[in-house]
Amino acid sequence: MRYRLMLNLMFFLSGFASLIYQVVWQRLLTLHYGVGAISTTLIVTVYMVGLGFGGLLGGFLAESVRDRTRLYAIVELSLGFYGLISLSLIGFIGTRMATGHYVWSFCFMWIFLTIPTLFMGMTLPIMTKVFHQLVQDFFQTISSLYFVNSLGAAAGAICAGYVIISFFGLDLGIYVASAINFCLGVMMLHLRKRGAGTESETPHTRGPTTIVSRRVNPVACSLVFVSGLLAIGYEIIWFRVIGILGACRLTLYSLVRLGYERFP
């Protein structure tokens, strides 16, 4: 039960920190590359591609590496270190490359976001594998784990947009997310010291040998691809629509206030 609570907390904090990074980095990058539809779309595209390949790499490493707790700690500590230097990197890239073509903007955003998003994508499959070794009813709780991670992501987005950035600035958002990464790394190292995370130390997770087909179903992959395509497509469209509605509301408010001041 103690391991379950600790790992659920780590799932929550992992999603929390990742969305703080996304919100803050998107704000910082738009300062240099603009807030237009193309610029925002490029940022979201690079972010999601990095997460996808990170998840693929993390799944491969989770099956190949024996000491997964140490691997997870290394990933989180590396992500925290990258977060600390990201402010300087954004300033360096933005002041020198922001005036170029969108192709160049895409390339430099890709360079900047690829490393941290790979780390972020790796955390979920590695953590899931660690949970699988420590908790026997893993297959009954995988949906709750994904829910906890998504809930943390939602909380991180709200906290970053309405609290941290509004009251304390963009820099503090990066420092908060980086501190969470370091805490997660230390928490996982604590689990490692308790003897968790290696196959030989969790014999209760070994069950009957099951032969699993590794053949990829093209129909299932196509459906998953379309599902992701629609989800992110909706996000981009709704982002623009809500932005336009917000701008119209502010314009209307300004006109009403101006009219009231001139004709009280």
User: Against a cut of 0.85, is the pTM above it?
Assistant: no
**Token representation of residue 210:** 């099951």
Is the same domain home to 197 and 222? Answer: no
For residues 170 and 174, what is the distance between their CA atoms, to the nearest angstrom? 7
Is the same domain home to 131 and 229? Answer: no
Is the same domain home to 93 and 144? Answer: yes
Contact of 157 with 19, CB cutoff 8 Å: yes
- Is 212 part of a structural domain of the chain? no
- Is 231 part of a structural domain of the chain? yes
pLDDT of 183 reads 94
- Is 99 part of a structural domain of the chain? yes
Is the same domain home to 49 and 78? Answer: yes
CA atoms within 13 A on the CB side of 199: 7
Comparing C-alpha atoms, which of 62, 29, 11, 42 is closest to residue 198? 62
pLDDT of 212 reads 47
Q: Is the pLDDT score of 68 beyond 70?
A: yes
pLDDT digits (tens, 9 = 90+) for 31-62: 776 656 666 777 778 888 888 899 899 889 98
How many domains would you assign to the chain? 2
Residue range(s) defining the domain that contains residue 19: 2-207
Is the same domain home to 67 and 188? Answer: yes
Give the ranges where the chain is alpha helix by DSSP (H): 2-33, 37-64, 68-97, 102-134, 138-159, 165-168, 170-193, 218-262
How many residues can be counted in the chain? Answer: 264
Q: Which residue has the higher pLDDT, 19 or 210?
A: 19
- Is 188 part of a structural domain of the chain? yes
80 CB-near residues (< 8 Å, 6+ apart): 178, 179, 180, 181, 182, 185
Helices 2-33 and 102-134, axial angle in degrees (round to 10): 180
For residues 167 and 33, what is the distance between their CA atoms, to the nearest angstrom? 24
Is the same domain home to 170 and 260? Answer: no
CA atoms within 13 A on the CB side of 214: 1
Percent of the chain's residues with pLDDT above 70 = 72
Residue 251, Cα to own-chain centre: how many angstroms?
Answer: 34
Q: Is the pLDDT score of 224 beyond 90?
A: no
Is the same domain home to 68 and 161? Answer: yes
Contact of 133 with 63, CB cutoff 8 Å: no
Average pLDDT over residues 226-243: 76
**Token representation of residue 103:** 């192709």
Give the best-scoring range by mean pLDDT among 201-205, 209-213, 228-232. Answer: 228-232
Is the same domain home to 57 and 161? Answer: yes
Is the same domain home to 70 and 192? Answer: yes
Average pLDDT over residues 106-120: 84
For residues 233 and 62, what is the distance between their CA atoms, to the nearest angstrom? 30
What is the amino acid identity at position 24? V
- For residue 98, give the CATH number of its domain: 1.20.1250.20
pLDDT of 112 reads 83
Is the same domain home to 117 and 228? Answer: no
**What are the backbone angles phi and psi of residue 198, rounded to the nearest 5°?**
-115, 150
- Is 64 part of a structural domain of the chain? yes
